[in-house]
């Protein structure tokens, strides 16, 4: 692919063409570049992530950027943002990817009125997508709500595999430099050890904890403060908010175990969140049963009094007789006492 150098090398390349796509509004901004809306006269619009000039000169950043495209490209899953194409022009690197327009998990968690059922469904989808990545030998290494996008239908798609790596590859973490987001970083990453699938589980535990309680397990005024707490401080037991399954509190704490070997797998996390969500939904429907029975009883009680005016105006005599008989039978079936068993005659012999 090629793009006009005068446009794509600019700090804000709006209006440039990348292949068949014209760059329009900025969808998001980051320290290493922007994400633009890419439009075309035919076919779906896309998101185009472009490294800025400074980041394009940093070898490690470019390596992670290219690896994001390569990694996500081979992870074909409905819960992972799809990569359309990747390329560069005049030293500026870009990724063309599926456009997801429903906001992010961060925005959903920040809503005071976010439906618990919807939040749990999204978390189960995120865990399922990450479990798929782990099964393919890929660790994300930067799991956080900002990296989970939502479609307009509310389905989750994991994005930003820039720090992801194959489990059998060496880490890009260098001495004195820790990659990832401090708020969601696992104890082993803090200590400079190799990130594994269990590291993603730890980050997922923080996301789950925040969903259940409305707050993260750790708070600090600096990145170093977060890193210390992840490594040395046990999280407080979650006080689960109304509407969320209390059974998931134990799962959140299990994910936050300091020892990676003590954490569940991501597949187990997905299964337990989905199971708790389904159990919650069943309980909600069960509580509707008494209300529905009350409505039915009220209708049966009132039905005979409704039939007289209706019969006179709308229905003929045979239909009215049938309706009255049915109403009396229903009324008797619900409100009459059950027949007593006949007493057996005494044997006077």
Same-domain check for residues 225 and 123: yes
Which one of 99, 128, 156 terminates a domain? 99
**The residue count for the chain:** 349
Same-domain check for residues 196 and 154: yes
φ and ψ of 28, to 5 deg: -165, 155
Do the domain assignments include residue 125?
A: yes
CA dihedral 252, 253, 257, 262 (to 10 degrees): -80
Tell me how many domains the chain contains. 2
Q: Measuring CA to CA, how many Å separate 342 from each of 62, 194, 264?
A: 90, 80, 62
Which one of 261, 288, 315 terminates a domain? 288
What distance lies between CA 89 and its chain's CA centroid? 35
Same-domain check for residues 112 and 57: no
Look up the domain containing 28 and give its range: 16-99
The CATH number of residue 80's host domain is 3.30.200.20
Same-domain check for residues 95 and 113: no
Do the domain assignments include residue 338?
A: no
Same-domain check for residues 38 and 187: no
Q: Give pLDDT, residue 212.
A: 98
Same-domain check for residues 128 and 247: yes
Which one of 270, 288, 306 terminates a domain? 288
Do the domain assignments include residue 108?
A: yes
Q: Residue 142 catalytic? A: yes
Q: Which of the residues 34, 110, 142, 347 is marked catalytic? A: 142
- Please give the chain's pLDDT, 349 residues, in tens: 444 433 554 555 667 888 788 998 888 887 778 899 999 878 889 999 888 888 888 888 888 888 777 888 889 999 999 988 888 877 788 889 999 999 999 999 999 899 999 999 999 999 999 999 999 999 999 999 999 999 999 999 999 886 665 554 444 444 344 556 899 999 999 999 989 999 999 999 999 999 999 999 999 999 999 999 999 999 999 999 999 999 999 999 999 999 999 999 999 999 999 999 887 655 554 445 555 556 655 555 555 555 555 555 545 556 566 656 666 666 566 555 555 555 555 555 5
Residue among 203, 58, 56 nearest 139 (CA): 203
């Amino acid at each position: 692919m090629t793009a006009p150098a005068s446009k794509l090398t600019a700090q804000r390349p709006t209006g440039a063409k990348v292949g068949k796509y014209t760059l329009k509004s900025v969808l998001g901004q980051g320290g290493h570049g922007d994400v633009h809306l890419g439009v075309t006269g035919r076919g779906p619009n896309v998101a185009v992530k472009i490294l800025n000039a400074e980041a394009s000169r940093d070898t490690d950043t470019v390596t992670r950027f290219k690896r994001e495209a390569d990694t996500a490209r081979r992870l074909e899953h409905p819960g992972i943002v799809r990569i359309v194409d990747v390329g560069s022009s005049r030293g500026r690197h870009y990724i063309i990817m599926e456009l997801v327009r429903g906001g992010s998990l961060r925005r959903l968690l920040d809503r005071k009125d976010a439906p618990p059922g919807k939040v749990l469904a999204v978390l189960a989808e995120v865990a399922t997508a990450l479990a798929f990545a782990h099964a393919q030998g890929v660790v994300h290494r930067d799991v956080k709500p900002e990296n989970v996008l939502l479609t307009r239908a509310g389905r989750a798609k994991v994005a930003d595999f820039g720090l992801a790596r194959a489990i059998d590859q060496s880490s890009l973490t260098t001495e004195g430099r820790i990659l990832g987001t401090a708020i969601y970083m696992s104890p082993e990453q803090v200590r400079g050890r190799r990130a594994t699938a269990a590291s993603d589980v730890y980050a997922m535990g923080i996301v789950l904890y925040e969903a259940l309680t409305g707050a993260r397990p750790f708070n600090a005024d600096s990145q170093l403060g977060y890193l210390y707490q992840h490594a040395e401080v046990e999280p407080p037991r979650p006080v689960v908010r109304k509407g969320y399954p209390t059974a998931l509190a134990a799962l959140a704490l299990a994910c936050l175990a300091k020892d990676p070997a003590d954490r569940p797998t991501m597949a187990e996390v997905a299964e337990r969140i989905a199971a708790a969500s389904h159990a919650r939904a069943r309980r909600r429907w069960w509580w509707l049963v008494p209300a529905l029975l009350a409505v039915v009883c009220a209708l049966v009680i009132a039905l005979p009094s409704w039939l007289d005016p209706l019969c006179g105006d709308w229905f003929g005599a045979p239909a009215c007789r049938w309706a009255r008989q049915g109403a009396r039978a229903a009324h008797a079936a619900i409100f009459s006492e059950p027949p007593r068993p006949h007493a057996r005659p005494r044997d006077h012999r």
